[in-house]
Amino acid sequence: EEETPANDKLNNVTLPSVEEGRKEEVRSWQSSPVVQNIIQYIEEGLPSPSKIQAMALSVEIRNFLNHRSLFRLNKDKILFRLWVNKMGQVKALIVIDESTLSQMLAKYHGDNHRGFRPTFGYFAERYYCFHLRKFIQNYVSACPTCTLNNNFKVNKNKSGNQLAFLPNELMIADFLGPLNQYRTSKGVPKYVFIAVDAHSRYGHAFVCKSTNDDECLKAWETIRDRNCGLSRKVGVDGALLKPKTKSAAFLKANGVAILHGLPNISRHQGKAERLIGTISRLLSKFSTDKPEMKLEDLLKLAMYAYNSTPHSSLPRNLAPRDLHFRVPPSSFFDVTQRDVHKDRGDKL
């Protein structure tokens, strides 16, 4: 049955007018078939279908039919939805479709990455969209930047003093990004997956389109194929390798123990954060020298330089590859830096 206004307050609501220069823009917000169908119902005064006929209609149209008296058209043929708040005040909200809401969210949420409640409050005060709460909740929860900054609740793992006495004993992983100067074909910033051996400081890095679990799983599979196995333990922050993810299941199936550090405590991620800083500076340097190179090629060059040059955290002027491999493979840096590495073999 059609809902009738409970009091005269709803009957006497004056709908706001839209500025002359914005009328076409606002009309474009209501161009979806669902909103146009609602406008047609109101303009032509079409009768409401029977309950059996209404079952074949979309959820949005059924919602409109149940609250038909709250949908109004102003003199400019712009659709509004009356909303009564807790204080009994009546607000006229502009009805928008989901495609318009998605564009508005990309601009509003992309600027400040505010959480669900402030984002929902901002739009709920101004606009009405079917499934507004669910749409915003899914959008915010899928945001890669917010995913990295929101740590799920974990218990403190007894990770020890973060010392590793052999290669492949403990590996620390994290993400570098977003890299706004490097974007995908859809205009989304790229990321770099970073993993470093806690003993030898030998690093791995891979370009990723996002920070989701599928990209993380690809990186771990590549590391396993390169090393013919994985380290015995992996340390990450709370945003990665969450329970019931494919990457966590993959590591556990390969006999890897997963350690999560406490949120907002960087001690667990210190080695990865230091590698992120080093790779960032190397990418900046190499991109300045060779601006035409792609990110993937720049990253390969940066990791080659990092793993082959002396590391300040390693003794006797050793490079990460010297400690990671029993007999280090031949490197370009052996030729260019013979003075630095001339006594490496004797020391080893």
pLDDT band of 203, cuts 50, 70, 90: very high
The reported pLDDT for the residue numbered 186 is 82
pLDDT averaged over every residue in the chain: 80
The reported pLDDT for the residue numbered 124 is 86
Least confident of 139-153, 228-242, 278-292: 139-153
The reported pLDDT for the residue numbered 337 is 53
For 154-167, how does the pLDDT look when each residue is reduced to its tens digit (9 = 90+)? 555 554 556 678 88
The reported pLDDT for the residue numbered 193 is 93
pTM over 0.85: no
Q: What is the mean pLDDT of residues 57-79?
A: 82
Q: What percent of the chain has pLDDT over 70?
A: 83
Least confident of 40-49, 261-270, 284-293, 323-332: 261-270
pLDDT band of 1, cuts 50, 70, 90: very low
The reported pLDDT for the residue numbered 341 is 47
pLDDT band of 327, cuts 50, 70, 90: low
Q: For residue 219, is pLDDT > 80? A: yes
What residues have CB less than 8 Å from 93, skipping those under 6 apart? 80, 81, 82, 83, 126, 127, 128
Cβ proximity of 126 and 92 under 8 Å: no
Residue 194 bridge partners (DSSP)? 174, 205
The reported pLDDT for the residue numbered 318 is 87
pLDDT band of 205, cuts 50, 70, 90: very high
The reported pLDDT for the residue numbered 167 is 86
Q: For residue 268, is pLDDT > 90? A: no
